[in-house]
Structure 1
Amino acid sequence: MVKTSPLIFDGHNDVLSKLASAGGLSEAGRFLTGLDGAIDLVKARSGGFGGGFFAIWVPSSMDLAAKMKKMVQSSYDLPLPDQIDAEDALPAALGQIAILLELERLGALQVVRSVADIRDCMAQGRMAAIFHIEGAEAIDTDLHALDVFYAAGLRSIGPVWSRPNIFGRGVPLKFPSGPDTGGGLTDRGLRLVRRCNALGIMLDLSHLTEKGFWDVARYSDAPLVATHSNAHVICPHARNLTDDQLRTIAESDGMVGLNFATAFLREDGRMVSDVPLTQVLRHLDHLIGILGEDRVGLGSDYDGAMVPEDVTDVSMLPRLRDAMERHGYGEELIKKLCHENWLRVLEKTWGA
């Protein structure tokens, strides 16, 4: 029997940018009937996927195939893409926000603004979607766009992606490497942190440099959260978190969502799909060992990265639940990892 419970609430996906690149609003209806990708309504129902953080991401002009070719090598250091100005980023961001709102209009999901919303969606069998921004390029220096996005439902933001912007510097795709790869937050970035704290918008640390991480830890009054990051001691990739960072997250009562991207799972840092679920569990064990059972969840990066072949889309998530059970995780811990820990930290951050 396929195990579709407990429902999985996931820390990161890129289905909105996937839909945008495939044709935009005209493609939204295919989310209900089936997409060539990791997440759609059909796959979600068959795999027990209850929703998660739906990222708005502004693409850079890059040769994706060339990038992926480099990331199968034993070492690599991809240059950061060029900075994108707000006036260029805003149209792309608005296009993806429009897709998210169209999916809600079509009844495919609900844009949630509270943990009560998420629990209601789970009870009613509706997909719950957090409006998340990955890289704040579309936000102006005065933060007016932030307030507008918040009114539209924004509840989580990563100040940077893997490129610099006016708020800070992103960590590159580099292996092997520590996370200390450049400068941290700018003065504007610190203003963004304070404004997000005031509004109750979750701050995502996943793409920040180590200096940026410590800047947020110093100035934010909210739990520290990395929505899609892994353990650096297992995979020494610049994108992964050191044990010192993990301990600081634990002290803030925050959490980490485990990233399925294979380059951040494998000890050799290669972006290839041949990764057993035992390696996923190895990262989970380490994260739980430092953060505790209440501060670890899932942050797949579905539709934005190569993932293990055993869980290439959300219909295959029962395999992960089964692997957790075989590994010795009890029913209560599996439920926490699948969604309860996300709801706990969101309630603490949002206040509702």
Structure 2
Amino acid sequence: MELIFDGHNDVLLRLLNNMQDGADPVAEFRDGTDQGHIDGPRARAGGLAGGLCAIYISSGHFELRKPDDNGHYATPLEAPLQRQPSLDIALAMAAIAYRLERAGAWTICRTVADIRAAFEANSFAAVLHMEGCEAIDRELIALETFHAAGLRSLGPVWSRNNIFGHGVPFAYPMSPDTGPGLTEAGFDLVRACNRLGIMIDLSHITEKGFWDVARTTDKPLVATHSNAHSLTPVARNLTDRQLDAIRESRGLVGLNYATTMLRADGQDLVDTPLSDMVRHVDHMVERMGIDCVALGSDFDGATIPAEIGDASGNQKLVAALTAAGYGADDLAKICRENWLRVLGQAWHEA
């Protein structure tokens, strides 16, 4: 079985929502559930050994806009969020992460050595990530605190605007060049993350924001859960020019399992074949090289292909990549080693 380190999941959001309805998040993750995509038993069954676990503040009941007769859709950006309620929710998610660690359900990792040790101990290697920085203040005081608590990755924006920058809508077909990029606060955030050793995630940001980060950061460019725009022209995917910049920085892109970002028609349909996943990997490897492609499932945050189903189905993708000609060394890089290299660079370890 190929061990997998995954670039993005929303399991903390699911655990928080269910906890608010009376469920025990520790029991749900440790013992398993029939909800969502990730828990301990399903992760072990599918070789999912760890990943970036998002602290994400929901805008409420989000729904994609229905396609028109041509199959096109444009979902408006969600409204900006207030900081104080966002901070409360972010702290609640972080608290769940620590409850899971105290119960032995996973290990919160701050270094690559921590991740490898968790692999050896057969403990899920959880890295705290923030998807959209609504919980962070302009002065970046909360950033220092979250970093001390284990935050090691963040995306300045989700698909909405905030004080740090502008996000792209969920829309098909559409360019990612949909609006302004970073604000002055956003430039300060990037520089602070470079100083602290927090990886910057370029998923969800506008193309202008992408280039703003590229000319500011001194670390590899990373999109934790994005695909190729030339194959699936949704606003969330990356153009070939963006992929080229990621290659030049020796960064990486994590393959997003969301069907809207895999299918040529951009539709939200579970009957999306594994071949669509393979063709995105093929394109990104051809454009960037094998060292710049990894996995970023978006488990618990998106509709994924029925053939994968949940975390227990990860080895089906590995099998499909093997059948497509990827060898053992290639698979080790795609499944985990590329992530560990880039995280080490972002965290001042390499």
Please say whether Structure 1 and Structure 2 have the same fold, judged by a TM-score greater than 0.5: yes
SS in 1 for 2:307: helix
CA RMSD of aligned residues (A): 1.2
Q: CA deviation at 1:351?
A: 2.1
SS in 2 for 1:102: helix
Q: Once the two structures are superposed, what CA deviation does each residue of 1:18-63 show, in whole Å capped at 9, x if it has no partner? A: 111112573332111112121000111111110100000001134x
Q: Once the two structures are superposed, what CA deviation does each residue of 1:70-115 show, in whole Å capped at 9, x if it has no partner? A: 2697111111111112112111111111111111111111110000
Q: How do 1:95-174 and structure 2 match up within 5 A?
A: 95-174=92-171
On the 8 A contact 1:71/1:271 being kept in 2, the answer is no
Q: TM-score, structure 2 length as denominator?
A: 0.96
Q: 1:186 to 1:218 in 2, by over 3 A?
A: same
Q: Distance in 2 between matches of 1:14 and 1:166?
A: 23
> Which letter maps to 2:228?
A
Q: 1:336: which partner in 2?
A: 333
Q: 2:191: which partner in 1?
A: 194
Q: CA deviation at 1:257?
A: 0.2
Q: Once the two structures are superposed, what CA deviation does each residue of 1:149-202 show, in whole Å capped at 9, x if it has no partner? A: 000000000000011000001100011001000110000000000000000100
Q: Distance in 2 between matches of 1:72 and 1:345?
A: 40
Q: 1:16: which partner in 2?
A: 12
Q: 1:59: which partner in 2?
A: 58
Q: CA deviation at 1:142?
A: 0.6
On the 8 A contact 1:163/1:170 being kept in 2, the answer is yes
Q: 2:74: which partner in 1?
A: 77
Q: 1:50: which partner in 2?
A: 49
Q: How do 1:227-306 and structure 2 match up within 5 A?
A: 227-306=224-303
Q: 1:32: which partner in 2?
A: 30
SS in 2 for 1:341: helix
Q: 1:351: which partner in 2?
A: 348
- Alignment size in residue pairs: 345
Q: 1:203: which partner in 2?
A: 200
Q: 1:72 to 1:277 in 2, by over 3 A?
A: farther
> Which letter maps to 1:158?
G
Q: 1:69 to 1:34 in 2, by over 3 A?
A: farther
Q: Distance in 2 between matches of 1:269 and 1:114?
A: 36
Within the candidate set 290, 307, 310, 1:310 is matched to 307
SS in 1 for 2:227: coil
Q: Distance in 2 between matches of 1:338 and 1:70?
A: 34
Q: Distance in 2 between matches of 1:61 and 1:68?
A: 13
On the 8 A contact 1:72/1:272 being kept in 2, the answer is no
Q: 1:92: which partner in 2?
A: 89
Q: Distance in 2 between matches of 1:93 and 1:263?
A: 27
Q: Distance in 2 between matches of 1:307 and 1:301?
A: 8
> Which letter maps to 2:346?
T
Q: Distance in 1 between matches of 2:85 and 2:183?
A: 21
Q: TM-score, structure 1 length as denominator?
A: 0.96
Q: Distance in 1 between matches of 2:68 and 2:323?
A: 30
Which one is further off, 72-81 or 223-232? 72-81
SS in 1 for 2:85: helix
On the 8 A contact 2:15/2:28 being kept in 1, the answer is no
Q: Distance in 2 between matches of 1:164 and 1:13?
A: 21
SS in 2 for 1:232: coil
Runs (4+) of structure 1 exceeding 2 A deviation are 24-28
Q: Once the two structures are superposed, what CA deviation does each residue of 1:264-323 show, in whole Å capped at 9, x if it has no partner? A: 000101011111111100000000011111110000000000000011111111211111
Q: 1:196 to 1:71 in 2, by over 3 A?
A: farther
Q: Distance in 1 between matches of 2:217 and 2:348?
A: 15
Q: Percent identity?
A: 52
Q: Which runs of 5+ in 2 are unaligned?
A: none
